[in-house]
Structure 1
């Protein structure tokens, strides 16, 4: 049985209000792994990945949400799509494939508590 693999871009969102965002591309992502396993992989990888500043390495990311999929429309919010959480937020026990992750999907990785606060008051600090 062959394993499906994909290129996935992960948007690290450290601050919603200040738009403190960094993109990291992951190649050869195994889509049969669970979201929880992928989150653990990301957390471990970020700690040792060159080019990632200490504030991102030490941040407590805990949630993945689909930001964009190939040939799909993008949100008008400059930070994150604040809608469709029930579909777009990845469930920890589901595999990436079950969560509809395909090649060239873009995921947002953030702290859920910060996201909920941003949903209530989506103001940006300039």
Structure 2
């Protein structure tokens, strides 16, 4: 199982409302690019049974290793599309956040939460 990992992806639907859903992926190749994994996750969640429709249809596109969403060091935390998962720091049992960049930018400009 060398080169494969279990990766948990947090689908972030809303930063403001702290609305997210974790999805666990087994047998993930760490040698694939971040972009390839993004495409794999998009296809998978579009048809995943039991995943609420708002999470399946959302336009995700950016990954970060920072789950709490630090508002600093974006250049270090946001994974680059052309990197492999391994180069980006993803290892077995890593959790990454998957979100829409526009939502993050709005939240970063005004980091308030609503309950």
* TM-score (normalised: structure 1): 0.86
Please, which runs of 5 or more residues in structure 2 have no aligned partner? none
- CA positional deviation for 1:3: 5.4
Tell me the TM-score normalized by structure 2.
Answer: 0.94
1:53 aligns with 2:52: yes
Q: Which residue of 2 aligns with 1:107?
A: 96
1:48 CA drift (Å): 1.0
8 Å Cα contact 1:3-1:31 kept in structure 2: no
Cα deviation for residue 84 of structure 1 reads 2.0
Partner-residue secondary structure (3-state), 2:13: strand
Equivalent residue number for residue 14 of structure 2: 15
Count of residues in Structure 1 that have an aligned counterpart in Structure 2 = 115
* Match of residue 118 from structure 1: 107
Partner Cα separation in structure 2 for residue 21 and residue 81 of structure 1 = 16
CA-based RMSD of the aligned residues comes to 1.4
Q: Does 1:90 align with 2:79?
A: yes
Alpha-carbon distance between aligned partners in 1 of 2:90 and 2:71, rounded to the nearest angstrom = 19
**What are the within-5 Å matches in structure 2 for residues 11-50 of structure 1?**
11-50=10-49
* Matched-pair contact (CA < 8 Å) for 1:66–1:90: yes
In 2: Cα distance, 1:25 partner to 1:9 partner: 4
